[in-house]
Amino acid sequence: MSYHDTPPTGGPARRRRRSKAVRRITGGLALLFALTALGLAYLTFAPKAQTATAADVDAAQVAAGKQVYDNTCITCHGANLQGVVGRGPSLVGVGEAAVYFQVSSGRMPADANGAQIQPKEPLIKPEDIDSLGAYIQDNGGGPVIPDGNLRNDAEISRGGELYRLNCASCHNFTGQGGALSQGKYAPAMTEATDRQIYGAMLSGPQNMPKFGDGQLTSNEKQAIISFIQNNKATIDPGGYSAGGFGPAPEGLIAFLVGMGAIVAATLWMGSRA
Amino acid sequence: MTGNPNLQVPDEDELRTMSREERAHLGMALDGVELAEYGERYVPGSPADKHAERHVAMWFLLAALFGLIFILVFIFWPAEYEPAYSDRQWIYALYTPLIGLTLGATILLFGLGVVSLAKKIMPHEVAVQQRHVGMSDEVDRQTLAAQVLDTGDKAGIKRRGMLMGSLLAAGGALGVAALVPVLGGLIKNPWAERADSPLWVTPWAPAPDGTKVRMVQIDGTPVKPADMTAGSMMTVFPGVPGGAKASDAAVMLFRLRSDSVVRIRDGQQGFQFGDFYAFSKICTHVGCPVSLYEQQTGRVLCPCHQSQFNVYEGAFPVFGPATRPLPQLPIELDSEGYFVATKDFIEAVGPGFWENGKFPAWYSEPKEASG
């Protein structure tokens, strides 16, 4: 379309004046809109700071946590959470997530240093675990397990996919765990609760790598937990899982029971002939 | 089998006058079998006879019953999948054992019925069969051989050259067909493309226009340094079509703790980005995915044959059958802050092969400041 096709709708000067005003207003509005959108987008995408804010801190709970720490943890982790060489690592920055996983599964306080700290009946009461977590969180921050439901049943198949990619190499495809080097092992997850699995992913206990929220979002972690827990609650179609280790024990059972039955039947028939 | 030469073979009239039992005995006698003892197992109609019949019938009836149950279960059982925590999960879980048990029971009970039929109903007999000692008589052997060869002569095998030739061709083709799956791999020359051979090039190689390949998670999300915390490992794939499926492209991206003492392989200084290191996930032994990462010891374990590689020492093999370190992928950030591969691997990924260059340098040097 050429310039001459459009009939002019007013004097050239007036048109120029109006369009200048309109341009100013629309330009201003566009700038305002862009800035607002940018701000909103920043709010959406900006990572949440992983430090405890002042409102979260309950001074009484922190004091109670310090009491628990001084009674049970201080020998190996030091008076200022700095760790003791040859006994235990620094706890600065490990966060509430690590405290919850280690203490609620009975790994901490540990019986002895070894290839791997063993889980056992927890020694510390649940409310004391919370206080201890608040104390550690207050002194150095770190990852925190979110409150509320930690399952994502809607995305359970995606959870399975992520489990097989990130977890199954060590923890086995049915969550039964497996051996690592020099006496270390990836534990079975038969006893693990939703919160413990979440805490383990966040904090990377012992030789497990960490899976921060940038790597597996909270949603993805919850989908993995749903997959693990549903797996545990599923009845084995054969009636018996044979340890959940797959073809090796299943083949052994098939061989021993099947071949045993055939040999027994053959011997019986021979004895009756 | 030679029959009894002393036996008088009856003529047609005699056969007609014989009873069925006599004819059965005669048939066995002609085959050289003499019945020392033969007859019904029990007196017909006696209580023992009826009891035996009921016993056999019981097995067959049970087999029929289980067969019927199998058919009903197979058709009508609600076999649809029920998820965990559902009240009806056990119904679903029972389906496979039920059809297995019922069909198995049917076959087993039928077999037991046949065995007990043979033992309790079929006539009891003690039979003696005459057999010759050692090899056949000279005359038997000579005549049999003559029969076989004479058949060939009569068919004219010798003069039918086309038939023999086509038979040889068919047999030869069959033999070669059996060998092709074994030798077929030698037909294509993997070195025809020289430096561009697929054995050397992975999808990490920059595009012809120089565009470097991004590292993406399995769902296609590009990876930036802030995504990973210290002490974590992420499996990443090249951000090109088919990258997540390429068998030589899977890479482990590690973020080590900044206080880790790391040694760098000769000539690979600067392949890392800060505390981030990328190593091929394909084991240099037989190509399994190594991914059992011990974040404190820095070891990566291969689940297949227990090879172990030390990430702090340039992914050198420290245990197991693997003999070469995992190839390291040089990485950097692109203009938007996402990880890209600077260039392709500088050595072949995965298990070794004859032409895989000289043995890689094994000594290492301390890490220089980078990133």
pLDDT tens per residue across span B297-355: 999 999 999 999 999 999 999 999 998 899 999 999 999 999 999 999 988 898 887 76
Q: How far apart are CA B148 and CA B200, in angstroms?
A: 62
Q: How far apart are CA A11 and CA A9, in angstroms?
A: 7
What DSSP character marks residue B225?
G
Determine the 3-state secondary structure of A210 from DSSP.
Answer: strand
Burial class (CB in 10 A: 0-12, 13-18, 19+), B145: exposed
* Of A126 and B130, the one with more pLDDT: A126
Class of domain A54-138: mainly alpha
Between chains, do A209 and B292 touch, taking CB under 8 Å as contact? no
**Residues B224/B234, Cβ–Cβ less than 8 Å:** no
Q: pLDDT of B254-311, one tens digit each? A: 999 998 999 998 888 899 999 999 999 999 999 999 989 999 999 999 999 999 999 9
Q: How far apart are CA A260 and CA B146, in angstroms?
A: 50
**Residues A189/A175, Cβ–Cβ less than 8 Å:** yes
Q: How far apart are CA B280 and CA B257, in angstroms?
A: 20
Determine the 3-state secondary structure of A227 from DSSP.
Answer: helix
* Of A50 and A138, the one with more pLDDT: A138
**Which residue in B has a C-alpha nearest to residue A235's C-alpha?**
B93
Q: pLDDT of B93-142, one tens digit each? A: 899 899 999 999 999 999 999 999 998 999 888 888 877 788 888 998 99
Q: Which residues contact A211 (CB under 8 A, 6 or more apart)?
A: A166, A201, A202, A204, A221, B232
Q: pLDDT of A34-54, one tens digit each? A: 777 777 766 666 655 555 454
Mean pLDDT score, A253-271: 93
Would you list the domain boundaries of chain B?
A: 47-122, 196-371
Burial class (CB in 10 A: 0-12, 13-18, 19+), A255: exposed
Residue type at B315 in one-letter notation: A
The single residue listed with the structure tokens 């981030």 is B276
B225 interaction partners in chain A (CB closer than 8 Å): none
A246 interaction partners in chain B (CB closer than 8 Å): none
Mean pLDDT score, A238-246: 80
Q: How far apart are CA A104 and CA A122, in angstroms?
A: 6
CATH topology classification for B196-371: Rieske Iron-sulfur Protein (2.102.10)
Whether the ω angle into residue A109 lies within 30 degrees of 0, i.e. cis, is: yes
Q: How far apart are CA A237 and CA B93, in angstroms?
A: 5
* Of A31 and B232, the one with more pLDDT: B232
Picking from A151, A169, A245 by the largest number of B CB atoms within 10 A of its own CB, the best residue to mutate is A169
Phi, psi of B127 (to 5 degrees): -115, 145
Between chains, do A209 and B303 touch, taking CB under 8 Å as contact? no
Cα-to-chain-centroid distance, residue B362: 38
Task: For residue A16, name the pLDDT band (cuts at 50, 70, 90).
Answer: low
Interface A:B, Cβ pairs < 8 A: 83
**Residues B220/B271, Cβ–Cβ less than 8 Å:** no
Q: Given its phi and psi angles, is residue B242 left (phi above 0), alpha (psi -120 to 50 degrees) or beta?
A: left
Which tokens hold the place of A69? 């720490």
| CA–CA min distance B163, chain A (Å) | 49
Choose among B97, B289, B308: nearest Cβ to A181: B308
**Residues A262/A205, Cβ–Cβ less than 8 Å:** no
Q: How far apart are CA B67 and CA B110, in angstroms?
A: 10
**Which residue in A has a C-alpha nearest to residue B94's C-alpha?**
A237
Which tokens hold the place of A52? 């405890």
Interface residues from chain B to A (CB-CB < 8 Å)? 83-85, 89-90, 93, 95-97, 217-218, 224, 226-235, 289, 291-297, 299, 301, 303, 308, 319
Query: By the CB < 8 Å criterion, does A12 face chain B?
Result: no
Burial A82-96 (b: 16+ CB within 10 A, else e): eeeeeebeebbbbbb
Greatest alpha-carbon span in chain A: 122
Q: Which residues contact B285 (CB under 8 A, 6 or more apart)?
A: B302, B304, B305, B307, B320, B321, B322, B323, B351
Determine the 3-state secondary structure of B67 from DSSP.
Answer: helix
| Domain A153-195+205-233, CATH among 1.10.3470, 1.10.10, 3.40.50, 1.10.760 | 1.10.760
Between strands B263-265 and B364-366, the pairing is: antiparallel
Q: pLDDT of A64-105, one tens digit each? A: 999 999 999 999 999 999 999 989 999 999 999 999 999 999
Determine the 3-state secondary structure of A91 from DSSP.
Answer: coil
ipTM: 0.74
Q: What is the pTM of this model?
A: 0.75
Picking from A158, A161, A165, A232 by the largest number of B CB atoms within 10 A of its own CB, the best residue to mutate is A165
Beta bridge partners of B37: B126
A1 pLDDT above the threshold of 60: no
Cα-to-chain-centroid distance, residue B235: 28
Between chains, do A169 and B292 touch, taking CB under 8 Å as contact? yes
**Residues B260/B275, Cβ–Cβ less than 8 Å:** yes
Q: How far apart are CA B355 and CA B357, in angstroms?
A: 6
Between chains, do B296 and A238 touch, taking CB under 8 Å as contact? no
B362 pLDDT above the threshold of 60: no
Cα-to-chain-centroid distance, residue A214: 11
Between chains, do A181 and B227 touch, taking CB under 8 Å as contact? no
Q: How far apart are CA B237 and CA B337, in angstroms?
A: 17
Choose among A170, A214, A232: nearest Cβ to B228: A214
Nearest of A97, A231, A87 to residue A171 by alpha carbon: A231
